[in-house]
Amino acid sequence: MARSKSSRRWLREHVTDPYVRLAQKHGYRARAVYKLLELQERDRLIRPGMNIVDLGAAPGSGSQLASEILAGRGRIVALDILPMDPLPGVTVLQADFTTDAALQALHEALAGAPVDLVMSDMAPNISGEPAIDQPRAMYLAELALDFAGQVLKPGGDFLVKVFQGEGFDEYLRLLREGFGKVAIRKPKASRPRSREVYLLARQRKL
């Protein structure tokens, strides 16, 4: 019954959500694009000429925005466990990021090219039980950080969605050890009741 009520609430909010309507109006694949757009306007994450990896990319609104900004100058590799329709200038990979096969596919797609920005919007399937969901979410964030450590060039940036709760403070400490600057962002398009925040780690240390 609780899940049914939650589903009805989500549907009601989705139908009346102004960001959903904006995404439909402007031809973006998902409302999440406005989170990235706010970060882009504030922090200028994406610049022409960059190599970008987008983890948890489906349905693809983040890669869609990045492709528009790059305007053919740069490269995007997008990965998700879910299928994703093609986008211009984007190499789309469908794989489970927790597997070795996904990591191998990413490295093959990059072909040794240095990466300027890793973005991770990955999140687990939500069970509604914080004791289950939070560790799963932090595990994905840790995997994304490990991958960023493998491919980011010195001075590169890492943007990751996390959920405030157990493991958050320790994760933040790890980012501060590995990057020159770390900021916590809560975009306006994030639903107010959500515990999600974005951690922006810039200037990867040698």
Please name the residues in contact with 152: beta carbons below 8 A apart, sequence gap of 6 or more. 114, 115, 116, 118, 158, 204
What is the DSSP pairing of strand 196-204 with strand 179-185?
antiparallel
Domains of the chain (ranges; CATH) run 32-204 (3.40.50.150)
Per-residue pLDDT of 143-185, as tens digits, reads: 999 999 999 999 999 999 999 999 999 999 999 999 999 999 9
Identify the segments of the chain with pLDDT beneath 70: 1-16
By DSSP bridging, strand 51-55 and strand 115-120 are parallel
Out of 161, 186, 188, 205, the active site residue is: 161
The pLDDT value recorded for residue 193 is 77
Backbone angles phi, psi at 173, to 5 degrees: -65, -40
Across the chain, what does the average pLDDT equal? 90
Is residue 181 annotated as part of the catalytic site, yes or no? Answer: no
Question: pLDDT for 183-198, tens place per residue?
Answer: 999 999 887 778 899 9
